[in-house]
Amino acid sequence: MAGAGRFHWVDPAADHLALRPWIRPAVAAAVAGLEAAPPESLTWGLLHSDPAPEAFRWDAASGTCGLIDWGAGLVGPLLYDLASAVMYVGGPGHAECLVEAYLRLGTIDPDEVDRGLSSLLRFRWAVQADYFARRIVTNDLTGVASSADNERGLEHARRWLDRLRQ
């Protein structure tokens, strides 16, 4: 873990969050919710920080699953990676088996998941809003076909942040 960055990096005062009127308040609320948990009370370790399905590699011959693309790895609450995985499978309504499998590993206990997953999931969507707002403001088209892809990502984050706020 030497040399890894530390959780968290989202600044609710960042200029790019002024892109749309809803972004800064939604991101600030998610950060406040995270800090109320508080992160220091959660189990910490090395995070991948973006365990998207395409980052997993399965070797059928050995029965081993690996995770690639550790460029954004950092030290933080392990629940953040679980929240990221829940986000990628479509939210809590689609993640019961995923959460159960994670808990079977015994890395964190069910009470920690019950106490912190919702705030970490909301924060994870705020990370998405921060990411896509920055990409739009800087016209970053790395890895996408057009600026419309960044707009779709930002809109998806808005819908989830609205849903998780309630």
Tell me the domain boundaries of the chain.
7-42+78-165
Which residues 6+ apart lie within 8 Å of 119 measured at CB?
A: 30, 33, 34, 36, 37
What are the pLDDT digits (tens) for 71-114?
Answer: 778 889 999 999 999 999 999 999 999 999 999 999 999 999 99
Residue 147 neighbours by CB distance under 10 Å: 13
| pLDDT bracket for residue 67 (50, 70, 90) | confident
Treating both helix axes as pointing N-terminal to C-terminal, what angle do 23-36 and 110-137 enclose, rounded to 10 degrees? 150
Higher local confidence (pLDDT), 60 or 55? 60
pTM for this prediction: 0.89
Q: Which pair of tokens denotes residue 28?
A: 């600030």
